[in-house]
Amino acid sequence: MRIERIEAEAISIPLKRDFGGSTYHVTRRCTVITRAFSNEGVIGEVYNGDNRDHSPQIARMITDELAPLVVGEDPFAVERVWQKLFAQTIATGDRKRLLEAIACIDCALWDLMGKVVGKPVRDLLGGFCDELPIISIGGYYVEGKTHADIGREMRMYRDAGMAGCKFKVGGLAPADDARRVEAARKAAGDDFILAVDANRGWDVEAAIRFARLVEPLDIRWFEEPCHWYDDAAMMARVRAATSIPITAGQSEITSHGVRRLVDAGAVDLVNYDVSEGGGVTDWRRAAAICGAAGVKMAHHEESQIAVQLLTAIPHGTYVECFADPERDPVWQSVWCNRPRPKNGMFALPAGSGFGIEFDRKLLAQYRIA
Kindly list the domain boundaries of the chain, sorted by start residue: 3-118+359-366, 123-347
Give residue 359's pLDDT band: very low, low, confident or very high (50, 70, 90).
very high
Encode pLDDT of 63-115 as tens digits.
999 999 999 999 999 999 999 999 999 988 899 999 999 999 999 999 999 99
For residue 20, is pLDDT > 90? Answer: no
Encode pLDDT of 125-164 as tens digits.
999 999 999 999 999 999 899 999 999 999 999 999 999 9
Of the listed ranges 50-59, 67-76, 301-310, the one predicted with least confidence: 50-59
94, 261 in Cβ contact below 8 A?
no
Q: Which fold has domain 3-118+359-366?
A: Enolase-like; domain 1 (3.30.390)
43, 51 in Cβ contact below 8 A?
no
Encode pLDDT of 179-230 as tens digits.
999 999 999 999 999 999 999 999 999 999 999 999 999 999 999 999 999 9
Q: Which fold has domain 123-347?
A: TIM Barrel (3.20.20)
- Distance between terminal CA atoms of the chain? 29
271, 292 in Cβ contact below 8 A?
no
Give dist(CA 253, CA 272) in Å, integer: 8
Neighbouring residues of 191: CB distance < 8 A, sequence distance ≥ 6: none
Give residue 53's pLDDT band: very low, low, confident or very high (50, 70, 90).
confident
Give dist(CA 181, CA 252) in Å, integer: 27
State the alpha helices, DSSP H only, in 34-77: 55-60, 67-70
- Per-residue pLDDT, 93: 82
- Per-residue pLDDT, 176: 98
Give residue 14's pLDDT band: very low, low, confident or very high (50, 70, 90).
very high
State residue 327 phi and psi, 5-degree precision: -85, -35
Enter the DSSP assignment of 250: T
- Per-residue pLDDT, 336: 95
Looking at residues 319-334, what average pLDDT do you find? 95
- Per-residue pLDDT, 22: 80
For residue 52, is pLDDT > 90? Answer: no
Percent of the chain scored above 70 by pLDDT? Answer: 100
Residue 261: exposure state from Cβ atoms within 10 A (0-12, 13-18, ≥19): buried
- Per-residue pLDDT, 51: 80
For residue 369, is pLDDT > 80? Answer: no
Percent of the chain scored above 90 by pLDDT? Answer: 94
Mean pLDDT, the chain, whole residue set = 96
- Per-residue pLDDT, 175: 98
